[in-house]
Structure 1
Amino acid sequence: MSTQAPATTRRDQILREAARLFAERGFHGVGVDEIGAAVGISGPGLYRHFAGKDAMLAELLVGISGRLLAGGKRRVADAGAAGHSPAAVLDSLIEGHIDFALDDRPLITLHDRELDRLRDSDRKLVRQLQRQYVELWVEVVREVYPDLAENVARAAVHAVFGLLNSTPHLGRPDALPARESTATLLHRLALGAFGAASGTDGAGPGC
């Protein structure tokens, strides 16, 4: 499951190109004319879709936080309805976050560099959504590793997010191993981190 649907509208296209340009050159290094040119419209034409660059940034960062949370909840619910084990639910969460980490690399860079540029209400909303996403993972991790203390599970989840969200630092996408190989490596490393936190071999019960 990808966290970013294919761009089917002009608004989606604008957001995708804005994310790419902001990540490459910084929020203040990109003008509305350049974003417009990237999608084939005039800079002023962007104002039919967004009030300005600040609105684009807010929608990008609030939007991806919301999509990650919604996707995580959907994976947990689907796995539960299918009677899957907690270990299988954790596998599904990891797969979903890896999809994000590989497919939405500009948004990771954007979050790291530009979150503080959001107005207070939007920044608080991003943090609220992120906390809910973390707690979703913590609950599943503690089902897989019942002896793991809550604070240790939470620290492990944050550490795994840091590992998975390192993809912007791995080089150009065309310089990486095949996507499937990279996804498999990241998945194995994530499970290894949880296993290390719990004192097991990293495979997890039932894996």
Structure 2
Amino acid sequence: MAIEVTDRDRAKALRREALLRESARLFATRGFNAVSLEDLGAAVGVSGPAVYRHFSGKQALLGALLIDVSQRLHDGGAAVTARDADADSRLHDLIVFHVTFALSQSDVIRVQDRDFSQLAPDDLETVRHLQRAYIQNWMQVLGEVRPALDPAERRLRVQAGFGLINSTPHSVGSGAHASFTAATLVAMTKAALLAELGDGGYVSAPTTPTN
């Protein structure tokens, strides 16, 4: 039997989404500790206490925000990994997926980088679990492309790739520049993941021609 969704239910869901969106913006701009419930309520047109109708407090709102983004990354990565395609294509698609996500969610990434430690213990563990699984998806595909890499090396390369992608959205705009940045990030991340090591374990540097 289908459950009827009322106008009140829809309005509540929209208000919750608005609170998540505005909390990302405010936390990214000011920092978690500098934002009050009154600030959050005002951003969506309600009083501070009205926020409690949707979340038990500011920390719970932060938890919902970071769990949501971690879940979306996990699910998107798992969907790419499960595709019926060769490993090179899936690795490329994983990179494109993460770059696209990062460039469209720069506020959340900034909050994740700065306010992760403010999470409640249970939310912290949930986010870590989702992130570990997301990393494993990347490591699996990278291992298919570069089977000679041991797990520690694959993990290092994947995390370095994330660092490269996630550090960029803070400083880019929209439009043509963002499109150019996306293409550049995809190419740079792929190069970092697949870099060949030279003698001594270092990436071979290009030689400078002499006259």
Asked which structure has the greater RCO (Cα within 8 Å, sep 6+), the reply is 1
Counterpart amino acid of residue 188 in structure 1 = A
1:135 CA drift (Å): 0.8
The 5-angstrom pairing of residues 57-136 of structure 1 reads 57-77=62-82, 79-80=83-84, 84-136=85-137
Q: Which runs of 5+ in 2 are unaligned?
A: 1-12, 205-211
Query: 2: distance between equivalents of 1:35 and 1:197?
Result: 48
Counterpart amino acid of residue 129 in structure 1 = L
Query: 1: distance between equivalents of 2:109 and 2:40?
Result: 19
Q: Which runs of 5+ in 1 are unaligned?
A: 1-7, 202-207
Judging changes above 3 Å, is the alpha-carbon distance between structure 1 residues 160 and 182 closer, same or farther for their aligned structure 2 residues? same
Alignment root-mean-square deviation, CA: 2.0
The 5-angstrom pairing of residues 35-74 of structure 1 reads 35-74=40-79
The aligned counterpart of 1:193 is 192
Query: 1: distance between equivalents of 2:66 and 2:74?
Result: 13
Query: 2: distance between equivalents of 1:59 and 1:187?
Result: 29
Query: 1: distance between equivalents of 2:173 and 2:57?
Result: 30
Kindly provide the CA deviation profile for residues 75-115 of structure 1, in whole angstroms up to 9, marking residues without a partner as x: 222x22xxx21010011111111122101111111111111
Judging changes above 3 Å, is the alpha-carbon distance between structure 1 residues 197 and 156 closer, same or farther for their aligned structure 2 residues? farther
The aligned counterpart of 1:181 is 180
Judging changes above 3 Å, is the alpha-carbon distance between structure 1 residues 129 and 150 closer, same or farther for their aligned structure 2 residues? same
Q: Is the contact between residue 24 and residue 111 of structure 2 (CA under 8 Å) also seen in structure 1?
A: yes
Q: Is the contact between residue 60 and residue 120 of structure 2 (CA under 8 Å) also seen in structure 1?
A: no
Counterpart amino acid of residue 131 in structure 1 = R
1:178 CA drift (Å): 2.5
Q: Is the contact between residue 23 and residue 107 of structure 1 (CA under 8 Å) also seen in structure 2?
A: yes
Q: Is the contact between residue 106 and residue 169 of structure 2 (CA under 8 Å) also seen in structure 1?
A: yes
Query: 1: distance between equivalents of 2:132 and 2:190?
Result: 21
Matched length: 188
Matched, 1:156 2:157: yes
Q: Is the contact between residue 152 and residue 197 of structure 1 (CA under 8 Å) also seen in structure 2?
A: no
The aligned counterpart of 2:23 is 18
Judging changes above 3 Å, is the alpha-carbon distance between structure 1 residues 172 and 185 closer, same or farther for their aligned structure 2 residues? closer
Kindly provide the CA deviation profile for residues 113-167 of structure 1, in whole angstroms up to 9, marking residues without a partner as x: 1111112121111111111111110010011112222211111000000001102
Largest Rg, 1 or 2: 2
Question: After the TM superposition, which of the residue ranges 190-199 and 178-187 deviates more from structure 2?
Answer: 190-199
What is the TM-score normalised by the length of structure 1? Answer: 0.84
**Secondary structure at 1:64's aligned position in 2?**
helix
1:71 CA drift (Å): 0.8
What is the TM-score normalised by the length of structure 2? Answer: 0.83
Judging changes above 3 Å, is the alpha-carbon distance between structure 1 residues 159 and 172 closer, same or farther for their aligned structure 2 residues? closer
Q: Is the contact between residue 99 and residue 185 of structure 2 (CA under 8 Å) also seen in structure 1?
A: yes
